[in-house]
Structure 1
Amino acid sequence: MTSIKKQLPLEEITDFDAVVIGAGFSGLYMLHRLREDGFTVRVYEKGDGVGGAWYWSRYPGARCDSESIYYNYTFSEELYKEWTWTSRYPEQPEILRYLNFVAEKLDLRRDIQFNTEITGAHYIEEYNKWRIFFKDGSSVTAKYFITGMGCISVNATNIPNFKGIENFEGKWYHTGSWPHEGVDLQGKRVGVIGNGSSGVQTIPVVAEEAEQLYVFQRTPQYTTPARNHPYDPQYIKQAKENYHKMKKMVRESMAGVPLQFGEGSALEDTPEERRNVYETAWQKGGVISYVYRDLLSSEEANETVNDFIRSKIRETVKNPKVAQKLMPTYYYGTKRAVIDTNYYETFNRDNVTLVDVKNAPIEEIAAKGVRTADGEEYELDILIFATGYDGMTGPLFKLDLRGKDGVLLKDKWDDGAQVRTHHGLATAGFPNMFMITGPQSPSVAGNMPIAIEQHVEWISDCLNYLREHDIKTIEANVDAEENWSQHCKAVSDETLYSKSESWYTGSNIEGKPSSFNIYLGGYGPYNQMITDMASKGYEGFTLRSYSENIVIEEQSL
């Protein structure tokens, strides 16, 4: 590892132009862009291989919920045409193979340091550089510091603080940090806590292997069928031939996929017409929140799709009492929209028991299993936490990130209650620090690789601009980030997202302030905003000359 040589003064050392955290979709493309532009750059990755979240999340049934022909990089026609996906929704091993293919094709590994965990980064104002610290106590310096670990991270897995977990005699795992050698579930009594996206994917697969499966459910989940299927070779051929059209469509779209959003209102159709619309979408597979324009803005319209999905649960689950326990009551689509393969069908199996921990919460993890408030104890050999992550701000807060005057990012954002960013790219008081898909960007509101490409390209263009114009530092202005934060809130307040609790708001983390930090104005419109901002000399940022210690540009919104 490159480390600071103590015999040299700090002002004489800058190890890299840029340091990037994480070797997932973000880090790989950021490395490629900056290296192609002639910057010295190093990516640091905690794991021993590329992949980011897809390196760690190897749980049974792990699969992407964006269609594979769009869930990839679009910046390179060569990459797009050389790789061939096997099915509509790719499994984790295939996505990991894809990212390894990209790393090999672009010769990226030589500038990635694996098995290296970054613990923090401090801005050294006197020398206008970042000092990045590692778990082993060493450090490096860089002019630019870029966070590329995403909105969820293995460092921010959420394991509820259950009483007695240390006494459990069996083995327990978190879906976000699954053993790479796999877990033998055959003949085992298994408990799964959590039924968000990872739980919905895990439960049906575990049920096929385990002797007995207990599903500990707190909040029932809406989920719609994926209808996954192998791709026809002719379909793949057409997709590759339409690369340029596809690239334009996904980048200008609302959610990074070329969905045709419905223009009509769910309330304008008759019940029979609505049922036909929903049934068509249900049979097609995937999320169905796009079929009418007002499903995520009107409570009354949203209730029509809720009723439809509940009717499907009643039709699918044979035991009426179990079906009733599986009925969600929140607004569909305002938590992460989940798709599944045989989720509801799984509760018809004789070896699957649904445990309602909303009415009888988990009191403790005992030596032999899980004990609930009604006095029941469920004996287990294996316990799986499908409890998600401390998302959005969590991956950043797990690091000791300090800007000017030693201010901790977590303190600046008041533990997440007062997040302030400039378009999710940067934040005041932290010069020369950039966030790829940071809080208050569109990020998880759609197909992540497209959001990542927007940010990587904007950041690399920005660094080129700074170099060409002899700029020493760039820093978001306080008024710019205040205006953007207010705009984000105004947009979300027009939707039902602000009326639901989810990991988007941090409500899955005990004691975390509720704050919705996703921009819902759409990928395409957002990209136009940040492009315009750059074309105006980086509006909303203060730029300082490298050769003179004076402000040369202070653009306001």
Structure 2
Amino acid sequence: MSSASISKGAAGTAPTSNMHFDAIVIGAGFTGLYQLHLLRGRLGLKVKVLERGDGVGGTWYWNRYPGARCDSESHSYCYYFDDEILQEWEWSERYPQQPEIVRYLNFVADKLELKRDIEFGANVTAARYDEAANLWHVETEAGEVFTAKYFITGVGCLSSANVPNIPGRDSFKGDWYHTGQWPHEGVDFTGKRVGQIGTGSTGIQAVPVIAETAEHLTVFQRTANYSIPAQNGPLSDEFKKWAKQNTDEIRRKMHASTNGHPFLFEDRDAADVTDAERQAIYEKAWEVGGLRFRAVFRDLLIDKAANDTAAEFLKGKIREIVKDPQKAEILATIDHPFATKRPPIDTGYFEAYNRDNVSIVDLRKTPIVEITEKGVRTADQEYELDIIVFATGFDAMTGSLLKLGIVGRGGVPLSKAWEAGPRTYLGLQVAGFPNMFTITGPGSPSVLSNMPVAIEQHVEWVADCIEHMEKNGIDRIEPTEEAVAGWVDHVNDAANATLLPQAGHSWYLGANVPGKPRVFMPYAGGMARFRKICDEVAADGYRGFAFSNDGVPQSGLHAAQ
């Protein structure tokens, strides 16, 4: 579609300058690249992507910690909107490492000639909606001010580092790093006494790699975690050929699945088989590895008794692998149902504790009191360290959005609108913030799914919506308060229909960030169900959204059901 076929509406009266655009997109990861491609290529709009990093990659540009690797299988962790890209790109491993993912995103950006519309090193510090002009004013740390009718955030769900404010942290004489802000030149652990705080997905990936070169690694564990072996390895030529020949079938499965992965849940419950059969199923799934383990029974996340069978199997594996009974007990004393926190997959995590240079501290029994000049002091002793690694995760889903300094209609900051927790409609828009779209925002499947699948769905929905607005000369879109309230209730109901809220210390609830409201943020109803809801909303005249021109609401905008 050429730009001539698009009606610019109110944006046509905007100031003409090289700082004014039809749309501004924040972030040059999976979201930003595809959103730019659709808005520029399909709709013919003038688009600028602002990226605080010096290159494309988004979350993967920053997450360069030891062992950083995707937990979705590589043939599914990529764009499926372009068959030519699918045929040309070739993954090397079942689970790609960070450098390979960044190479892939650069390959896509170069092939689609996207970089000319991306400004790198642009750290957004404020975004304010000007109601009179119906424009978003977006400011960067360098003092630049951009304006646009549409403001689209692709800042990532796991990109705002959560650095714990432990007393004495800044008095430490050694070096400390957060896994989400890792030095691009890397860190040399050779001969160093290293302390790692945190054993979530990131920490589980980092431990085996750090242990290989550190003189000694002390892992400080607050919450013991399940983990399943990735069984990673190079992809065979046979598999690569199969993946390229079956892209339609892979896409169909990802769109039909609960979590956007290229496999479906087995059509059976844990109680449908004998104890011996169940044990054999789990053993086989362990050998296959990865997130497929979660799909061997359909009721693992909705029935506690079923979940207990998987939990006990996995705890047994930990005790079997870790030879030191004391270490094994610390690692296997897990207080939440399986997969109610993000289910990690690993390469040699539990095996690392069999090394003489790796020890573990149970922070439930001896919590950290402070960080000293020499290291970490717990309730019973001080651990002298040269390096501290904070594998403490992220201010997930909302942190990166709130850091943008977003202010909506009437001067209301997003932080104020969300002071009791995030409130969106479909994870896409916030009442009081016209023409702002939050890709994979809170209230969408996002982190509970294979992210590229969720991103493609959201980006395409937003592009379709903007095309509808431009063709019909519509100035503004935002959800009604009734639609937001209804969606928040639905998100809560979907979560409560599962075991997910039972992990009370999960970052799904924001429990890892002091002072953050405890609200279950992602949509647990499944990616396939979510896609269907979004399609129905659009087909029903964008049910739950309010369109307007110069303050006059348009038709077809009844509340969400």
Give the TM interval when normalised to the shorter protein.
Answer: over 0.9
For residues 311 and 245 of structure 2, what CA distance do their matches in structure 1 show? 39
For residues 209 and 22 of structure 2, what CA distance do their matches in structure 1 show? 46
Instruction: Please point out which of 356, 361, 364 is paired with 1:355.
Output: 361
Provide the residue aligned with 1:321 in structure 2: 326
Provide the residue aligned with 1:5 in structure 2: none
Q: For structure 1, which segment, 41-50 or 536-545, has the greater mean C-alpha deviation from structure 2 after superposition?
A: 536-545
Q: Does 1:394 align with 2:396?
A: no
Is this contact kept in 1: 2:53–2:121, CA < 8 A? yes
Alignment of 1:96-495 (within 5 A): 96-153=102-159, 156-287=160-291, 288-327=293-332, 328-374=334-380, 376-416=381-421, 419-495=422-498
Q: Does 1:524 align with 2:496?
A: no
Is this contact kept in 2: 1:13–1:141, CA < 8 A? no
Aligned length: 541
Is this contact kept in 1: 2:251–2:262, CA < 8 A? no
Provide the residue aligned with 1:3 in structure 2: none
Q: Does 1:550 align with 2:552?
A: yes
For residues 442 and 174 of structure 2, what CA distance do their matches in structure 1 show? 38
Provide the residue aligned with 1:63 in structure 2: 69
Provide the residue aligned with 2:90 in structure 1: 84
Provide the residue aligned with 1:7 in structure 2: none
For residues 434 and 219 of structure 1, what CA distance do their matches in structure 2 show? 35
Is this contact kept in 1: 2:253–2:264, CA < 8 A? no
For residues 121 and 511 of structure 1, what CA distance do their matches in structure 2 show? 24
SS where residue 277 of structure 1 aligns?
A: helix
For residues 508 and 215 of structure 1, what CA distance do their matches in structure 2 show? 18
State the TM-score, normalized to the length of structure 1. 0.95
* Deviation at residue 278 of structure 1 after TM alignment: 0.7
* Deviation at residue 549 of structure 1 after TM alignment: 4.6
For residues 539 and 248 of structure 1, what CA distance do their matches in structure 2 show? 27
Provide the residue aligned with 2:80 in structure 1: 74
For residues 383 and 217 of structure 1, what CA distance do their matches in structure 2 show? 14
For residues 261 and 15 of structure 2, what CA distance do their matches in structure 1 show? 47
Once the two structures are aligned, what percentage of the paired residues are identical?
Answer: 51
1:424-467 CA-to-partner distances (Å, cap 9, x unmatched) read: 01011111000110100011111000100001000011111101
1:206-226 CA-to-partner distances (Å, cap 9, x unmatched) read: 001111110011111100110
* Deviation at residue 290 of structure 1 after TM alignment: 1.6
What is the identity, as a one-letter code, of the residue corresponding to 1:277?
I
Is this contact kept in 1: 2:257–2:264, CA < 8 A? no
What is the identity, as a one-letter code, of the residue corresponding to 1:420?
R
For residues 253 and 289 of structure 1, what CA distance do their matches in structure 2 show? 13
For residues 274 and 255 of structure 2, what CA distance do their matches in structure 1 show? 35
Q: Please provide the CA RMSD for this pair.
A: 1.3
For residues 464 and 485 of structure 2, what CA distance do their matches in structure 1 show? 24
Is this contact kept in 1: 2:258–2:264, CA < 8 A? no
For residues 256 and 331 of structure 2, what CA distance do their matches in structure 1 show? 37
Q: For structure 1, which segment, 47-56 or 240-249, has the greater mean C-alpha deviation from structure 2 after superposition?
A: 240-249
For residues 201 and 482 of structure 1, what CA distance do their matches in structure 2 show? 38
For residues 499 and 353 of structure 1, what CA distance do their matches in structure 2 show? 29
* Deviation at residue 393 of structure 1 after TM alignment: 1.3
For residues 249 and 241 of structure 1, what CA distance do their matches in structure 2 show? 15
For residues 495 and 251 of structure 1, what CA distance do their matches in structure 2 show? 21
Q: Does 1:27 align with 2:32?
A: yes
Is this contact kept in 2: 1:31–1:41, CA < 8 A? yes
For residues 264 and 290 of structure 2, what CA distance do their matches in structure 1 show? 13
For residues 415 and 556 of structure 1, what CA distance do their matches in structure 2 show? 23
* Deviation at residue 39 of structure 1 after TM alignment: 0.5
1:207-255 CA-to-partner distances (Å, cap 9, x unmatched) read: 0111111001111110011000111112111110111222222123221
Provide the residue aligned with 1:16 in structure 2: 21
SS where residue 249 of structure 1 aligns?
A: helix
1:1-24 CA-to-partner distances (Å, cap 9, x unmatched) read: xxxxxxxxx963570000011000
SS where residue 29 of structure 1 aligns?
A: helix
Is this contact kept in 2: 1:224–1:339, CA < 8 A? yes
SS where residue 272 of structure 2 aligns?
A: coil
Alignment of 1:532-543 (within 5 A): 532-543=536-547
Is this contact kept in 1: 2:253–2:263, CA < 8 A? no
Instruction: Please point out which of 495, 498, 503 is paired with 1:500.
Output: 503
* Deviation at residue 268 of structure 1 after TM alignment: 3.3
Q: For structure 1, which segment, 214-223 or 238-247, has the greater mean C-alpha deviation from structure 2 after superposition?
A: 238-247
Is this contact kept in 1: 2:168–2:370, CA < 8 A? yes
State the TM-score, normalized to the length of structure 2. 0.95
SS where residue 113 of structure 1 aligns?
A: strand
What is the identity, as a one-letter code, of the residue corresponding to 2:479?
A
Please, which runs of 5 or more residues in structure 1 have no aligned partner? Answer: 1-9
For residues 128 and 541 of structure 2, what CA distance do their matches in structure 1 show? 27
* Deviation at residue 538 of structure 1 after TM alignment: 1.1
* Deviation at residue 64 of structure 1 after TM alignment: 0.3
Is this contact kept in 1: 2:50–2:118, CA < 8 A? yes
